[in-house]
Structure 1
C-alpha cells in the first residue's frame, strides 16, 4: 500500500457507521511507547485513514489492573494536535461489576480519562454469569439518548445472547447492537465462521475482529512479555507450534505472517475491520501492507490457510467467550 494512500472503509453492519478496515486497539498499547513516539504513531495512523481507536478503562473484573493506557491515549491525541472530528473512538462498557457500576458512571469515568465528551461506538463486554440482558439493552439505549455514543456492539457474546438482545431492542423501539467484536484469526474461526453467527451476519450484523495476531504470536513473537487475551479451547501451544506453517504460507504470497493473518480476517463477508495493537511505526507500516495482500490475493487466502483452523471441533460455534458452551437468554 502506497505510503500516501488512505485505507479503505467498510460499513460496520447494515446500520452502523463506516469505519477503516484497520483499527488500533488499546490494551497494553499506548503504555508501551514513549510520549513522542505515541503522538507520531497516532498522527501517521490518522493521516493514512486508520482513525478508529478501541480504547477502554481497564479496571474491572479480570482487567482490574489500574492501567493508564486510556489516559496515555488521550495525551497522545493532544500531543498529535488531533481534533475530535479527526478520529472515531470505540469505548467499552464492562459487565463484571454491572449494575453496581452503572453504564452512566462508567462512561463518565472513561470519557473523562481520555479527555473527551463522547465516544462514537461502544462495545459491551463479555461475561461468565449472564446479566439481565433486558436491563443491559435498556441501559445502553439510555446512554445513546444521552449522546454518549451513537452505535454499539458486544464482545464475545454467544450468538444466542446477541440475538436475544437484538430482538428485545427492536421490540421495544430501542437501539439494537449492530456489530460483534469477536476473537478471530487464522487459528480461531469456529465462532465467527460458525452457523449461529452466520445467521446473524446474513441479517446485517457487522464483525469487528480482535486478537487477530494472538497477542503477537501469529506475527512471530512466540512468548509475548505482556498480558494477552484469553485462550478459549486451550489451543495456544498448538498455535505456537503452527507458526512455521504460517510463515510458509505467508512466503508463498511474499508477505509477512502478520500481513497474512490480517488479510485473511478481512476476507470474511461480514468483517468491517480488524483491531491490531501496534506499538512501533514499523508494525503499523507492516500491517498496512496487509491491505495490498488482500487486494492481490484475497480470493486465494481461504484455501491457502485452510489447514490452520486450529479450534475446529474444540470450541463450540454457539459458545460465548466465558463459557465455551451454548447459552440461552431467558
Structure 2
C-alpha cells in the first residue's frame, strides 16, 4: 500500500502550530545509519511533507550517554540543502537535573549542537516526582518571549500535573502547553485513551503527539531489536512480542504492512496531530506513509480490527506519567 502526494497537516492542539501528520523522531535514528543515508532520508522526508523532526540532546538522567544523533541531524540537514524555514524542529528540555541544569542552558546547548538559533516546539519531560510548576512555566515562557521556540508540550507527565500547569498558565498569564507527547500504540493505549488524559485533552484543547508507535520496532516486525529501545511500563513487552501474529493478520486483512497498521491506528485518536516514527531509509519512510492511504480507506474499521491488541488495559494506571502501576 502506497501513498502519493504531500503528507497532510493538522493543528497541534487548539493553540499550537499546524504540523505534518507524520514526523521523524531522533532517538538513535541518525546515529545508527550511514551519513549519506541520513542526508538522503532527510531530503526525501521534506519532499514528502514529513518536515517535522523530533531532535534532542540525549545526555541527562537515563539518557546520559552523550549521543551524537542531534549533531548528525544538524550536519545532514545542511548537507541535504534544507533551509531552516523548510522544516519544523521539535526539541526537548529535560527535568532530570532541573533547575540545576537550566532550560536556558539546555536549549542553548541543544541548538548549538544542531547548528541553528531556534526550535519551533519543545517537549518538556520527564516529570517524575515533585516539581515547582511555577518555575517551569516561568522559564518556558521567558524562552518563548526570547524567540527560542514558539510552543511547547510535555512528555511523560501525569494528567493531573499537566492539568495543574494549564490552570496555572491561564490564571497567571504564562505560555500554556499546547500538546502532550505520549507513548501510544496498538498495544499501549491506557494513558492516551484513559479518562484522565481524554478529559484533559478535550477540555484544555491540547493536541496529542504519538511516540514509540512501533514499540522499538516490534510492532513493525523486528521482534528482537538489538538497539536500545524505550521503557516497558507495565512489563508487557513480551506479550507485545507474542501478539505480533495477530498484528500481521489484522494488517493482511487490509492489504497493509504491520507498520502501516501501527501508524494508521494512532490517527484514529481524535486528538492526534502527529505520529512520530523512526525510519532506516527512504524506502521504509515511503512504506510507512502508506498508513495514510490505509487511514483514508479503512479508518472506521481499524479499531475493531485490533480491539484484542490493547495489552496494557487494566495493567497500568491511566493517570500516571509513564503508565506505571
TM-score scaled by structure 1? 0.96
User: Could you say which residue in structure 1 is the equivalent of 2:185?
Assistant: 185
Q: Give the secondary structure class of the aligned counterpart of 2:192.
A: coil
Structure 2 distance, partners of 1:174, 1:140, is: 8
**Structure 2: runs of 5 or more not aligned:** none
Q: Deviations over 1:65-95 (max 9, x none)?
A: 0100000000011100011000000000000
The offset of 1:47, in angstroms, is 0.4
Structure 2 distance, partners of 1:182, 1:150, is: 20
What does residue range 73-152 of structure 1 map to in structure 2 within 5 Å? 73-152=73-152
Structure 2 distance, partners of 1:190, 1:137, is: 27
Structure 2 distance, partners of 1:205, 1:35, is: 36
**Structure 1: runs of 5 or more not aligned:** 326-330
User: Could you say which residue in structure 1 is the equivalent of 2:268?
Assistant: 267
User: Could you say which residue in structure 1 is the equivalent of 2:202?
Assistant: 202
1:242 and 2:240 correspond: no
User: Could you say which residue in structure 1 is the equivalent of 2:259?
Assistant: 258
Q: Deviations over 1:101-156 (max 9, x none)?
A: 00000000000000000000000011322221111111111110110000000002
User: Could you say which residue in structure 2 is the equivalent of 1:70?
Assistant: 70
User: Could you say which residue in structure 2 is the equivalent of 1:224?
Assistant: 225
The offset of 1:170, in angstroms, is 1.0
Please provide the CA RMSD for this pair: 1.1
Structure 2 distance, partners of 1:319, 1:256, is: 32
Structure 1 distance, partners of 2:130, 2:218, is: 31
Q: Deviations over 1:22-55 (max 9, x none)?
A: 0000000001111111111101000010000000
Task: Say whether the 8 Å CA contact 2:128–2:157 is kept in structure 1.
Answer: no
User: Could you say which residue in structure 2 is the equivalent of 1:22?
Assistant: 22
1:6 and 2:32 correspond: no
User: Could you say which residue in structure 2 is the equivalent of 1:280?
Assistant: 281
Aligned residues: 324
Moved over 3 A (4+): 1-4
Structure 1 distance, partners of 2:241, 2:151, is: 36
User: Could you say which residue in structure 2 is the equivalent of 1:319?
Assistant: 320
Structure 1 distance, partners of 2:276, 2:105, is: 26
TM-score scaled by structure 2? 0.98
Q: Give the secondary structure class of the aligned counterpart of 1:274.
A: strand
